[in-house]
Amino acid sequence: MSTADRTFRPAAPADFPAVASLLNLAYATVGVNPGETANTVKERYENALVLVLEVRGILAGTLTIARSGSCYGRLARPGQMEVSRLAVARAHQGRGVGKAMLTGTAELCRREGVQALVGATLERMTTAHQLYESIGAKRGVIPGIKARGYTLDLTHETEN
């Protein structure tokens, strides 16, 4: 699949039901019920940046990024953005969708002067661990949480 088949963009209100469904289905595979609805996606959209990746016009993945100090950026320190609610549709898993979303997000944030992306995953989310590590994120402790934390330094270019 070429990158020409993919569109990475901010979510639009028309996407909210599909984003909620994708999140619920994806997180259910690791035993988590996020309870997403079109309204919870709308709330995040109003306070953070909800991004989607489409493959040939079909929603294949989503993630949210939020600034430090916002209600969705609680893990981020000043100069950082927090990544959350990353999910890839089952039909698109293993095809580089998650990596494309994270690298696209990193480039967007780097252009905006963000110093690092931070995120957290549950220990049982091994695919997410591999994904973060594949883009050069470093595992570390994020104060105040028990989940596995990751930080991607955006202050210099990395080879991935």
Could you give the CA distance from residue 138 to residue 133 in angstroms, rounded to a whole number? Answer: 7
Answer for the pair 142, 75: CB distance below 8 angstroms, yes or no.
yes
pLDDT of residue 126: 84
Q: Are strands 80-88 and 116-121 parallel, antiparallel or unpaired?
A: parallel
| Sheet strands side by side (includes 49-55) | 6-10, 49-55, 58-67, 80-88, 116-121, 148-153, 138-140
| Per-residue tens of pLDDT for the chain, all 160 residues | 456 789 999 999 999 999 999 999 999 988 899 999 999 999 999 999 999 999 999 999 999 999 999 999 989 999 999 999 999 999 999 999 999 999 999 999 999 999 999 999 888 888 888 899 999 999 987 777 778 889 999 997 654 4
Could you give the CA distance from residue 42 to residue 93 in angstroms, rounded to a whole number? Answer: 25
Task: With CA atoms as reference, report the closest residue to 150 among 158, 142, 141, 139.
Answer: 139
- In the CATH scheme, what is the code of domain 3-153? 3.40.630.30
pLDDT of residue 145: 75
Answer for the pair 62, 83: CB distance below 8 angstroms, yes or no.
no
pTM over 0.85: yes
Q: What is the DSSP letter of 13?
A: G
pLDDT of residue 157: 63
pLDDT of residue 17: 98
Rg (Cα) of the chain, in Å, rounded? 15
* Angle formed by the axes of helices 16-28 and 38-47, nearest 10°: 110
Task: With CA atoms as reference, report the closest residue to 73 among 61, 83, 63, 85.
Answer: 83
